[in-house]
Structures are given as structure tokens and as C-alpha cells.
Structure 1
Amino acid sequence: MRDAKLREIDERAFLRRVAPMLDVYAAAMSPPAEQLPGRRMIMERHAGYPGFRAFAAERRGALARLPGPLHGFAYGFHGARGQWWHDVVIEALTARGGPEHAAAWLEDAFEVAELHVRPDAQGRGLGRGLLAALCEGRPERTVVLSTLERRPDTPARRLYRSVGMVDLLTDFEFPGGGPRYAVMGGTLPLATGSAAGADVPQ
């Protein structure tokens, strides 16, 4: 695992890696198997969103230029009206704090769609590295994401708090049911954090 390197990948390289990324997602999140085809379609659609950016944590293959085993990945894009997550969250934030509150967080936001590290590769700083690389140099004013609620003090929540992110919504249920999430946000650039154990996926 120690020789896994972070690599920025473009849209075409991302689409070539969707299958192994789904394997990492499944290992980290344990979703029902019937959800994976839909998740694949969502990821492929996200690759066409404005400001798309992605990183992979992987070992190089034997021929150096070929990708090797994937240990983790992260990607995001510029949030905009008409995107499902963006529209759901801006409505919830408006209901909670009014339109100015919602606009302050989502009017110019980089939305981290997925950040996952394979369970046997966690605890090595890959999640922190992926988040930092993904957000570095972004032109947006804020960064926002959702993470499984589970409990208030998960390693993922500690990671996000350590870089200056705060809870915007807690115990939040997205339309369609499913687990509860916390929606978190921070201003860019991210703060330099040092919380331990912070590479568990969202």
C-alpha cells in the first residue's frame, strides 16, 4: 500500500476507471448490490459536469505507465442549479437559514461527490491526501459534501472538521430514503489540519 501514489486523472481516464472505483466504493460503503448500476450511471454523468476534477490513489503497473491496483479515489465539480444534490441541499439550507444562508454556501461551491479509500488501505493518510489534492487551487469560494451520519465523531467527520469544515445539516435524509447524512461545508482554501485517523471515506 505504501507505494500508492495520488494522480490527477482527466474525464477519459476517470471513465476508464469507473469499474475499479465502484469496487472501492462497495468495499468502503457496503451498499446493497442492486444500487451499484445506478451509482455507475451517476458517476459517468458527473464526469461531464462543469469544473470536474478527479484523483486516484493507485500503484503503477509493471509497465510503469499502466495503472495498478486502486486504493482510493475522489472527485468533484462546480455545483450548479439543475444538479440533483445541489438542488436538494440548497432547498434544505434555505428552509433552515433562509436564501442568503443557502447562497453563502452553495452559490460558488466546489462539491465533493465521492471520496473513498479501500478499508485495507485506510489509516495511511490517503483520504487526507485525496481531499487536499482535490481542493488545491480551486477557484470556488466554498467546498461542500455529504458524509454518512453514523455517529457525530467518525474518522471522516474528524478529517473534514480538521480542515475547517462545519456541519450545515445533520441527521439529513435525502429524497428516496436510505441512511442519514451530515452535509458539511468549509471555505477555500482548506485549513491545514492534523487530525489523526482521517482517511475513512464519506
Structure 2
Amino acid sequence: MIALRRVGPDEFSNRLDSVLEIYTAAMEPPPDQLTGRQTIMGNHAAHPGFSCLFAETSDGVPVGVAYGFHGMPGQWWHDVVYQAVTDQLGQKKAYDWFGDALEIAEVHVHPDHQGKGIGRALVTALCAGRRERTAVLSTRDQPTAARHLYRSLGFADLLTWFVFPGGYEHYAIAGAVLPLSERPDGTAPLA
């Protein structure tokens, strides 16, 4: 039995090793990136509106994690993506999507527990009750299970084939209007 448990910034920071273990199992990043990734994740806990959920087994072992916070100017991801959306879609679209957004920074489920609805439960619970107008995220620009999940929850591609500065992988930047509503067509129009 898997249960979701919300944790605050302090417990999240104290359990960064568990977060990193799930991230590593799910994403298989190069080992030389892990120290930097852990630092970035730790810094996220200080952002306004930070919220984290662990998916845990009945004995408290985390098998999934999702967290996000209120995106705003001065945060690296927000600034990079806001500018890219402005350049490609215009200032109004960038503001509509990122002016009052929950930035979903990480969603990961250990491979041994994928395909059981844990990712869907994590994203849905993370977005539930948020006061922001939209939720935004980045995900690998490939036909992955995660990409399918986000589309089924109403996330629509805002940018595709996007490469972050200093990176090499292609990402899709996606957004959904809150509250989430599952949409079979994968669209998420702004009201």
C-alpha cells in the first residue's frame, strides 16, 4: 500500500538523500551531476509556496516524490523559460502562463513502482488547492510515460525542443490551468 504524505521544507531538506535516490533511479543522470542537483533541490525548499509530497510504502520508505513552489522572477528556471516563451510566443502569453504559476520542479517515481498511478496521484495532490492560476513544468521532449501523464492531466506544450542554457537534452515546457481537470485531448486553454 502506497500513501502520500506532505512534508515541509525542513523535512524535505533533511531527506534530500532519499529524494536524490528516487531521482537517480528514475532519471539515471550522469554521476557527476548529482552533487549539483542535490544543491539545487535543497535551494528549492526556500522558495515561497514550497510544497512536497512523498509517496511512501506502509513502512515509510519513499518510492516517489513531487515538489513545487510559486514561480517568480529571480528564480533561474522561471527567468530562462519566461524569456524563451516571450521570444517565441510573445510577452502576453509568457505573462499569462508564468505570471502566477505553480512551478512543478520535480516529479519522480522509483522504476519499481512506476505504472501504478503514483505519479498521477502525486501531481494531482501537489496541484490541489493551490492559489496560482497555472501550473508549469519541463519534461524530456520524448514520448515518455511522464509526457503522456501530463497531457492527460491537462498540460499542453508551450515550447518543444527546448534546450536549457548549458544543457544538451531537449525538453518540452508545458502548462495547465488550475485547478487541474483531466482532458483527453491534451489541451489547456487559458480562460
Aligned to 2:22: 24
TM-score by length of 1: 0.88
Aligned pair partner of 1:147 in 121, 127, 139: 139
Per-residue CA deviations over 1:163-191 (Å, capped at 9, x if unaligned) read 11100010100000231110000100000
Aligned to 1:85: 77
Q: After TM superposition, give the deviation of residue 192 of structure 1 in Å.
A: 3.2
Partner SS for 2:61: strand
Distance 2:93 2:123 in 1: 25
Aligned pair partner of 2:101 in 94, 98, 109: 109
Q: After TM superposition, give the deviation of residue 12 of structure 1 in Å.
A: 1.1
TM-score by length of 2: 0.93
Report runs of 4+ in structure 1 exceeding 3 Å deviation.
192-195
Q: After TM superposition, give the deviation of residue 155 of structure 1 in Å.
A: 1.2
Per-residue CA deviations over 1:66-85 (Å, capped at 9, x if unaligned) read xx221000000000000000
Q: After TM superposition, give the deviation of residue 194 of structure 1 in Å.
A: 7.7
5+ residue gaps, structure 1, are: 62-67, 196-202
- Name which of structure 1's ranges 74-83 and 155-164 shifts more when overlaid on structure 2: 155-164
Q: CA RMSD in A?
A: 1.3
Distance 2:164 2:79 in 1: 11
Distance 2:62 2:108 in 1: 11
Q: How many residue pairs are counted as aligned between the two chains?
A: 185
Percent identity, aligned pairs only, is 51
Residues 59-70 of structure 1 mapped to structure 2, 5 A cutoff: 59-61=57-59, 68-70=60-62
Question: Amino acid of the residue matched to residue 45 of structure 2?
Answer: A
Aligned to 2:160: 170
Per-residue CA deviations over 1:128-174 (Å, capped at 9, x if unaligned) read 0000000000000000000011x2x3211111111111000101000
Question: Amino acid of the residue matched to residue 94 of structure 2?
Answer: A
Residues 119-198 of structure 1 mapped to structure 2, 5 A cutoff: 119-149=111-141, 151=142, 153-192=143-182
Q: After TM superposition, give the deviation of residue 52 of structure 1 in Å.
A: 0.3
Question: Amino acid of the residue matched to residue 91 of structure 1?
Answer: Q
Distance 1:120 1:193 in 2: 28
Distance 1:51 1:118 in 2: 25
Q: After TM superposition, give the deviation of residue 193 of structure 1 in Å.
A: 5.6
